[in-house]
């Protein structure tokens, strides 16, 4: 039992996602629906984008329970533990119960499931504007900084988990240091992309264990951006060079999300974030060239969507290949080429059409151009 957004479509209930525009609805099915409904297969499920006008009823399934005498909402069921959010209004009481504050007035906790009692499921109907849809973008995972390049040995295991498995109550000095670092990076990215996000950007710091439990991300993910920047910082008392790079990388994702309203393909989003934090393709060039020449590479078109289900070796290649492609675009067209590309997302029917209109290339041409760039730049 967990919090879910649900909708009835043609008389059948489906779990749904909403956004980035308020009228957008994405239907999810665990088993293949009838072909005439037009669902598309994805990894482990089927999905279909619709607009609010096509949905019969939209509601929230809200499991409400009691945790030590106070009402809570179950956000996720992790088996032997539940991820809950405090429904009271007393911040001091929430802290006394062991909740951690993840946003202003929002307190969450991972707790053994037998400590939550009187569970009942509430159904709360929702209303949304009935407008045209905009394509949604999935959470952006980030490669664990400082790990070996994609062609090397398997990734190191995650750091030992905190025994409590809770969100990280960051030291005030670390929190202040994180804010200063973000402000510095914000100014740099704002100048480079010629854009300032209109909406605020939230940052949540976690222990390694809580990060894995709450985000449910694969082991190779070093940070996550799903509208908020989520970063594990266990054991740190100040912002290290590695954490600074992670924060800048994730901040780029937030800029790109707001600039493109979630339309940016995964490879461009990840390639640009790596390029902005200062990474370059010198270590990976030879392996990327060989993979391309041998036909053992992943086409960029196949890297437009979410990467969270990629196995670690494929993810390592995807990050290196995406960075190389972005390097090639910037070497040819400058960051202005990236800006032109972003501006075409509202106009063109596909990303490849946007590339043709803005930087005069196709996927096949860009891949050949990238390999030529790698040969010339990293001989």
Q: Pick the closest to residue 288 from 338, 246, 337, 322 (CA basis).
A: 322
As a whole number of angstroms, the distance between CA 16 and CA 47 comes to: 9
SS3 of residue 310 by DSSP: coil
SS3 of residue 110 by DSSP: strand
What pLDDT is attached to residue 159? 29
Question: For the stretch 23-43, what's the b/e string if a residue is b when 16 or more beta carbons lie within 10 angstroms of its beta carbon?
Answer: bbbbbbbeeebeeeeebeeee
What pLDDT is attached to residue 212? 63
Task: Find the helix packing angle between 266-276 and 241-260, rounded to 10°.
Answer: 140
What pLDDT is attached to residue 293? 93
CA atoms within 13 A on the CB side of 179: 7
User: What DSSP element (H or E) covers 27?
Assistant: strand 24-29
Q: In the chain, where are the structural domains located?
A: 4-59, 64-126, 140-377
Per residue of the chain (379 residues), what is the pLDDT tens digit?
A: 677 778 888 889 998 876 555 567 888 888 888 888 888 887 567 888 888 778 888 888 889 999 999 999 998 787 788 888 899 989 899 989 988 876 677 888 888 989 999 999 888 887 654 444 444 445 555 544 333 233 222 222 222 222 223 334 455 677 778 888 888 888 889 888 888 888 778 777 776 666 665 555 666 666 777 667 887 776 667 788 888 888 899 899 989 988 888 889 999 999 999 999 999 999 999 999 999 999 989 999 999 887 777 787 888 899 999 999 999 999 988 888 898 899 888 788 888 898 999 899 999 999 999 999 999 999 8
User: What DSSP element (H or E) covers 171?
Assistant: none
As a whole number of angstroms, the distance between CA 59 and CA 4 comes to: 9
What pLDDT is attached to residue 137? 46
CATH architecture of 140-377: Orthogonal Bundle (1.10)
The whole-model pTM stands at 0.57
As a whole number of angstroms, the distance between CA 88 and CA 281 comes to: 50
SS3 of residue 194 by DSSP: coil
185: its two tokens: 């990076």
């Amino acid at each position: 039992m967990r919090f879910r957004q649900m909708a009835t479509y043609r008389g059948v209930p489906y779990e749904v996602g909403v956004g980035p525009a308020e009228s957008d609805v994405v239907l999810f099915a665990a088993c293949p629906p009838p072909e005439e409904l037009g669902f598309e297969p994805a990894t482990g499920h089927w999905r279909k984008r619709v607009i609010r006008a096509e949905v019969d009823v939209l509601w929230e399934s809200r499991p409400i329970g009691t945790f030590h005498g106070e009402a809570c909402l179950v956000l996720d069921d992790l088996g032997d533990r539940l991820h809950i959010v405090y429904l009271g209004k007393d911040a001091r009481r929430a802290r006394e119960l062991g909740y951690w504050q993840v946003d202003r007035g929002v307190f969450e906790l991972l707790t053994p499931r037998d400590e939550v009692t009187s569970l009942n499921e509430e159904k709360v109907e929702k209303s949304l504007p009935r407008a045209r849809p905009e394509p949604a973008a999935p959470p952006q995972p980030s490669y664990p900084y400082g790990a070996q390049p994609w062609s090397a040995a398997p990734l190191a295991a995650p750091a030992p988990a905190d025994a409590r498995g809770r969100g990280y109550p960051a030291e005030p000095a670390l929190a202040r240091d994180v804010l200063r670092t973000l402000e510095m990076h914000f100014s740099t990215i704002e100048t480079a992309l010629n854009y300032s996000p209109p909406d605020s950007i939230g940052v949540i710091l976690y222990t390694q264990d809580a990060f894995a439990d709450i985000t449910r991300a694969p082991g190779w993910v070093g940070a996550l951006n799903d509208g908020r920047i989520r970063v594990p910082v266990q054991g740190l008392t100040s912002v290290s060079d590695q954490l600074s790079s992670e924060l800048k990388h994730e901040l780029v994702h937030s800029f790109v999300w707001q600039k493109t309203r979630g339309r940016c393909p995964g490879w461009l989003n990840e390639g640009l974030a790596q390029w902005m934090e200062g990474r370059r393709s010198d270590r990976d060039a030879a392996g990327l060239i060989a993979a391309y020449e041998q036909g053992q590479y992943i086409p960029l078109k196949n890297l437009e969507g979410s990467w969270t289900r990629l196995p670690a070796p494929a993810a390592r290649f995807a990050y290196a290949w995406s960075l190389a492609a972005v390097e090639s675009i910037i070497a040819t067209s400058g960051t202005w080429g990236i800006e032109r590309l972003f501006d075409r997302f509202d106009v063109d029917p596909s990303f490849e059409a946007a590339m043709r209109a803005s930087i005069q290339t196709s996927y096949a041409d860009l891949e050949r151009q990238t390999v030529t760039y790698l040969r010339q730049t990293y001989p």
